[in-house]
Structure 1
Amino acid sequence: MTVIDLNADLGEGDGPWRREPPADDALLDLVSSANVATAYHGGDAVTMAVTCAAALVRGVALGAHPSYDDREGFGRRARDVPADVLRAQVVHQVGGLVAVARSVGARVTHVKPHGALYNAVVHDEAQAGAVVDAVLAVDPTLAVLGLPGSRVLELAARAGLATVVEAFVDRGYAPDGTLVGRDRPGALVTDPDEAGERAVRMAVEGVVTAVDGTRVALRPASLCLHSDTPGAVALARAVRAALAAAGVHVRPFVDAPAGASGAPTAATRDG
């Protein structure tokens, strides 16, 4: 049986980066995990509470989505933040969401960095270490999501944290498996049919085709789409339909049976 998680970054509010109004409720009906903005790049305390409560009703798993302290840039601008400062900021963000989720009867299961921080921890040892240390300080049972082969997943696994490899159905890939910069051609995938086909290949074959035609191995346990990608709801519907047609079951990775295709196993915790 092939099982995959489908996650979306939610609770980010509105802003100049959006081309369409937020559609969090519609996306919560389609995804199995939600990464909730923790107020540094978007969202606020009330939005966190509302999003957590809405996810709980739907059985959607909750994750913290911390970022650099860069609300004006929506957390998508590179920042040179000292490791001790970043650790404190991530503790603040993750710990805050854990408390807010608890206040509405929900619990946080994972952490996924946002934007420029997500890209930094693919290779930056100090930044990755700060994120891992922060997660350990808040709750060592939380899983960490990231790109395959990323430094943050390596350090998290070494520290005993559960790790989850994810792939992006709405983002272009470079030949080395990193994401194409948002200011470059091919950065976004906005065609629903293409998104559906990519999702099936990622879930079933564990691969994606990079912008230059290179076949990139991924083997993800979770697929992501962004709520601010144009047509995000249509993309999510197409992805769900394509996965269902291919016999792929969508469920939170925390519920996926160990050893199932696309699901985390003991190896993801032990490194």
Structure 2
Amino acid sequence: IILNVVLLLNFVIAILSTTFANYEPIQAGLYYNVIVSMFPTMEWDSHFGAIICSQNPLSVIQVLLNPLQILLSSNATPETLIGLNTVFSHTSYAPIALISSLAFLGANLVMLPIAYAMLTGQLLLSTLGEDAVAGGMMRFLTFLKFAILGPFYLTYSLFVDQAVFIYNLYLEGPKDPLGKRKLSGILDEQGLNTFEVTLDRMIIEQELKKKALLKAAPEEANLLQNEQGGFVVDFVELNRRLQGEYGVIEEIRRLVYDHRSKSKFIYNPYTKKHQ
């Protein structure tokens, strides 16, 4: 028995050493490369993806739909399978959409009078707190206008919000939800050039400001200069200009923080650091 155990132990050690020799050069383990890669993953199937469109306890609908879908798709073409799957997907998702819409509508109905009362009160307080007569009259007219027309505005916004909510319920999700998509070469180069031109323009304006201040008030010129002798760049103004010229906020964020030129060190007055 002892001899068999020793032989078995040597056999296991030989297997482990061989496995280690195979995977050590790529710095990966057997568990990750073999076992995990074989795990089944939940992916959308254009023919039978309706199975995952319901949540508990509404998934009981699938007990009725699955046999019917399998029966109808036994001799169907791929186009017919996709059409059937679309119909069953909407059927399974409809109760979820209905319940979500009713919950959203109920919450809006509860918040509508609260919002009207709070905003009316704030307008009244701002009217009473105004010292100037002209300003007080303008605020009072604003208060009176909202007090009369506010319920109509809020009711109109209630229907608009509900329509937008239902529309978004059936809106397709992002193709890349993790944001790992890569910009095309043209878009990347265009966005980087826009960022560089905007930043250079702001630096030139800062230089002109500094020269003007050096003539008028030399002691205030230091306000435009950071510790390293560079210029303080207002990131709020930079983003505003980029939005006006480029038009896409998400691309602006990526350009500012991921694609900024390594040759320029920008001083952020909010974090007190050079970025």
TM-score by length of 2: 0.18
Query: When you count strand as a share of all residues, which structure comes out higher?
Result: 1
Q: Using CA pairs below 8 Å that are at least 6 residues apart, which structure has the higher relative contact order?
A: 1
Greater percentage in helix: 2
Q: Give the greater-gyration-radius structure (CA).
A: 2
* Structure-1-length-normalised TM-score: 0.18
